[in-house]
Amino acid sequence: MKKPLLLILISVILFTSACQKEEAPAKLNPAVEDYLSSIMTIMETHSINRKTIDWTAFKKSVLASAEGAQDVADTKTSIAIQMALIQLQDTHSVFITAKGTYIGTSGGLNCNNAVPIIPASDKEIGYVKVGTFSGTAAEAVNFAQAIQDAIKAADSELLKGWIVDLRGNKGGNMWPMLGGVGPILGNGVAGYFINPDNVSQEWGYNNGVTAGFQQSNPYSLKKPNPRVAVLIDEATASSGEAIAIAFKTRADTKFFGMATCGLSTANQSFNMADGGVLYLTVSTMADRTKKMYGKRVEPDVANVDQQRYLNDVMAWLKQ
């Protein structure tokens, strides 16, 4: 009776071993591994947090999360890319796949707010809205021109000051925004991008020219260097925050509203072989004094009640 029992035990062991082999996770496709490795190499070389990340553990976890992926377009590959973005901990980097799918992480940031109340028209106060922009080079020129046209239409010798409204500006291409609002901002260095090696890149406005944009026929205010009230809220993000920072420490300038979203860092694009694009956070925004931000931009006068802070804006501009 012992032999049959022994045979049964051996059969159970062999069956269990076979099941374990069948359930073993599929190996990572070499093409997927190469693709993810190329993305992570870019991150390790350029990320704003590259000096604080354990890259060995980082790469191991990302590749492990992609096990079973059959190709670059596999859902598991996207999951692995998202894990990499999360582990960067910059809350700003994003990846756009070759099919146009957005992969990112907000890091819990709230970048939404109530619909802005437009200030009442006043012959002594100029008003200009600077909104989000993404588009072609030709569209960028038109966008900046539209802002300068609005400034020109509102300009007058009677003005005591200007309102620059950045509420709801969630970002995009900052250069036409900067070029458009330049006549009010004024000429000169308005800010910097500073990387982890403390290398800084200055940016600003000079008679229609910015680092990434040029206006052919820029407008000049009737009364240069005006008093300016800048309106911000939680929906002011990324490039919108860059324009806000451009006005920080500017003479005769005051901020009203609510703290911004908290994406005051700069992204650089890296193109992948398959058509995907990594928009990687590589530096921190700083104002003209080189004070670095990276988080929320705070107002001087904070209030969730829009009408109240708009009343404060009018009173301050007319002082």
What integer pLDDT is reported at residue 26 of this predicted model? Answer: 58
Percentage above 70 pLDDT, the chain = 91
Q: What pLDDT band is residue 108 in, cutting at 50, 70 and 90?
A: low
- The tens digit of pLDDT for each residue in 247-266 reads 999 999 999 999 999 999 99
CATH of the domain at 155: 3.90.226.10
Q: Is residue 22 in a domain?
A: no
Task: Work out how many domains the chain is built from and give that number.
Answer: 1
Q: Is the pLDDT of residue 16 over 50?
A: no
pLDDT band for 279, please (50, 70, 90 cuts): very high
pLDDT band at 14 (very low <50, low <70, confident <90, very high): very low
Q: Which two tokens stand for residue 6?
A: 């022994």
Return the residue matching tokens 């990387």.
195
Q: How far apart are CA 197 and CA 221, in angstroms?
A: 39
Helices 30-46 & 75-88 angle (0-180, nearest 10): 20
Cα-to-chain-centroid distance, residue 161: 30
* Residue 302 placed within a domain: yes
Residue 185 CA to residue 243 CA, distance in Å, equals 9
Query: Domain containing 186: what range?
Result: 125-267+284-317
Does residue 46 belong to any structural domain of this protein? no
- Is residue 79 in a domain? no
Q: What is the mean pLDDT of residues 131-150?
A: 95
Task: Read off the pLDDT band of 5 (50, 70, 90).
Answer: very low
